[in-house]
Structure 1
Amino acid sequence: MSTTKVPFVTLNNKTRIPQLGFGTYLIPTTTAYDLVYEACKQGYRHFDTATIYKNEVEVSGGIVKFIKEEAKQTGSSFDEIRKQFYYTTKLWNDDCTSHEAATKGIDTCLQKAGELQYIDLLLIHSPLMGPKNRIATWSAMQDYDTSKVRSIGISNFGVKHIEQLLSWDGLEITPAINQLELSPWVMRPEIVKFCQQNGIELEAYCPITRGLKLTDPTITKIGEKHGVTAAQVLLRWSLQKKFIPLVKTVSLKRMAANFDFFDFELTADEMKLIDHPEAHEPTAWECTECE
């Protein structure tokens, strides 16, 4: 399957990220390696994992297996094909208790990345460790060698958490990304606006609402009009909002369908019909208002 249809987003540090990622939350170690390898064959080049997912070794291993096979078949070098891939992982709260702890956490993440050699994007998984430890963790992340950690960012941060980080007098690197649950029913307009005003891109997890809204009459009607699935409508909505959606499935059929929403466009009226800016119906955790 071609990967050329996937657009790229240029981050505030001038690096580029594919505007579609494959999420691996709750994918067990027994299946993650093979599933990620199959996703590579389907055309996915952007993969998202985390320390707390406990599958970093398998996720990176599935990518490495594909890269090695592709290098052998095409006569390209491993490094040439590695550049086509984007690997994200996240530091969990236990890694974010001090500058030293965060540095050890980053080292561990790099070890688990294995033959991928570097991490394209490293995120603080949540703001739950508190103001002091958020700053200490960011200090460690921005001090790290950029040849090993190319970009750094945040996840589940609310406006006040980002404001605190941006106002820190030791700030040298602005977060490249804030990864949040974003969908038509969790639009978070204040956070989205603030991030966009400060050059921070938005990654959207649970963009298809964990399937809970796939029978929504408006979504299904729009899907029928375009000859696409409800999931594809929601992914297209996310793309047109300038988000970077992260899809997750263990079904090879849905994996292919979730990669195939680039050939149609929602009209401005359809986008407005899908929008629910006053709704707040998260399907995952909610910590954007914590201290």
Structure 2
Amino acid sequence: MWVPFLFAPESALGDQRALHRSTSARCTLVVDDDAGLPNGETIPQIHLGLYQMSPSTTHRAVTSALTTGYRAFDSAQWYHNESATGTAITSFLSSHSHPAVVSRPTIFYTSKLRSNSTSYPSVRESITRSVDACGLGYIDLFLLHSPYGGKEARLTSWRAVEDAILAGEVKSGGVSNYGVKHIEELMSWEELRVKPVVNQIEVHPFNTQEEIRGVCAKYGIVVQAYAPLAAGMRFGDATVVGMSGKYGCTPAQLLVRWSIQHGFVTLPKSSRPDRIAANADVGGFEISEEDMEILDGLDEKLVTDWDPTDAP
């Protein structure tokens, strides 16, 4: 069972990831870089996003990513690919004989609750179904996918996440698409037992989310950036194109690097093996402080898919 709130020394997981780093010939991929979570756990700084991938595409993408060196995967009940993700991971693990380099403890798997509910039993059962669906024994990070449903549904659903953590089904809990008022609501809840460690939101230079990032920093909540590539909608932006040339990288790599230098856990999505590898190949350059400020200044509140952060 995992204990919430407490900071812990480097665990066996950390030792295994350290061995993976020492035995890896890769020098510019960031697949081995970890960020700390406020409960003492660690989280890989780059994940493969699996949004809108069919089960068959998911299986191929996850397998390709694992072969490249990725160890973190972001699924959800809503994506209908939890089983495919887990099957791909299990198959890959069974085909590799060095458990200290690649084994279940070195994998970081995330899923999310489809809908908040005022029915505690339905949410609790839904979380258990997600654990069973992935077939990985437990879920490393389970998120409330959005703040939709109202205050009672949000808090009831969080209570179910807390109990799943205390039961050992889930290692860490977090939220997604939470705005400032939703974070404040949860953190001020008198019955709160386990603090959220992550808020997964859309973040990129064209939607910097400074206000939400500020409240996350206030409570020590890690920002997880989905759509870090802005869905490719600004790859042709003059500033992005110019800086990509300056740093000898692609626009996608520039945006991933921006995300990492801000300290976010980033979730670039692709099903193509070449792009999966390229998105993680950002360890060979660093964006200057001046250029980071220029990229920050591109903010236009661009929303590439949905924005529930102002939900009532």
TM-score w.r.t. length of structure 1: 0.94
In structure 2, distance between residues paired with 1:38 and 1:97 = 39
2:5 corresponding residue in structure 1: none
Matching residue of 2:63: 37
Q: Is the 8 A contact 1:189 1:277 kept in 2?
A: no
* Letter paired with 2:106: Q
For the residue of structure 1 that corresponds to 2:112, the secondary structure is strand
The answer to whether structure 1 residue 100 and structure 2 residue 121 are counterparts is yes
Which residue in the other structure is 1:198 paired with? 219
CA contact (8 A) 2:61 2:270 kept: no
- The reply on whether 1:208 has 2:211 as its aligned counterpart is no
User: Following the alignment from structure 1 to structure 2, what is the Cα–Cα distance between the partners of residues 53 and 188?
Assistant: 24
Q: Does 1:266 align with 2:292?
A: no
The aligned residue for residue 143 of structure 2 is: 123
Following TM superposition, by how much is the alpha carbon of 1:96 offset from its aligned partner in structure 2, in angstroms?
2.9
Aligned to 1:129, what secondary structure does the other structure show?
A: coil
Instruction: Name which of structure 1's ranges 4-13 and 148-157 shifts more when overlaid on structure 2.
Output: 4-13
Compared CA separation, residues 52 and 243, structure 1 to 2 (3 A):
same
Kindly provide the amino acid, as one letter, of the partner of residue 54 in structure 1.
H
- For 2:174, the aligned partner's letter is G
Q: CA deviation at 1:99?
A: 1.2
Which residue of structure 1 aligns with residue 130 of structure 2? 109
Q: Once superposed, which parts of structure 1, at least 4 consecutive aligned residues long, lie more than 6 Å away?
A: none
C-alpha change, 1:112 and 1:242, in structure 2 (3 Å) is same
Q: SS at the partner of 1:170?
A: coil
**1-structure distance, mates of 2:235, 2:298:** 18
CA shift digits 1:85-105 (9 cap, x unpaired)? 100000011x53321111011
The aligned counterpart of 2:79 is: 53
The answer to whether the Cα contact below 8 Å between 1:6 and 1:262 also exists between their aligned partners in 2 is: no
The aligned residue for residue 20 of structure 2 is: none
**1:118 alignment partner AA:** Y
The Cα of 1:6 is off from its aligned counterpart by 3.0
Give the drift of 1:113. Answer: 1.6
C-alpha separation between the residues in 2 aligned to 1:281 and 1:262? 27
Q: Kindly indicate whether the alpha-carbon contact (under 8 Å) linking 2:31 and 2:71 is maintained by their aligned counterparts in 1.
A: no
Instruction: Tell me the alpha carbon deviations over residues 154-196 of structure 1, each in whole angstroms, 9 at most, x when there is no partner.
Output: 0000010111111111101111000000011111111001101
Instruction: Report which stretch shifted further, 143-152 or 218-227.
Output: 143-152
- Map of 2:45 onto structure 1: 19
Alignment of 1:172 onto 2:172? no
Q: For residue 83 of structure 1, what is the aligned residue in structure 2?
A: 105
How many angstroms apart in 1 are the aligned matches of 2:229 and 2:117? 30
3-state SS of paired residue (2:95): helix
Aligned to 1:143: 163
Change (3 A) 1:5 1:25: closer
Residue of structure 1 equivalent to 2:19? none
Give the RMSD, CA atoms, in angstroms.
1.6
Cα distance in 1, alignment partners of residues 61 and 227 from structure 2: 19
Residue identity in the other structure for 2:150: G
Counting only pairs closer than 5 Å after superposition, residues 62-81 of structure 1 correspond to structure 2 as 62-71=88-97, 74=98, 76=99, 81=103
Gaps of 5+ in 2: 1-24
Q: How many residues align?
A: 285
Structure 1 residues 77, 68: closer, same or farther in 2, change over 3 A? farther
User: Cα offset for 1:30?
Assistant: 2.4
Matched, 1:163 2:189: no
- Mean Cα displacement is larger for which, 25-34 or 235-244? 25-34
Structure 1 gap ranges (5+): none
Residues 145 and 177 of structure 2 are in contact (CA less than 8 Å); yes or no, is this contact kept in structure 1? Answer: yes
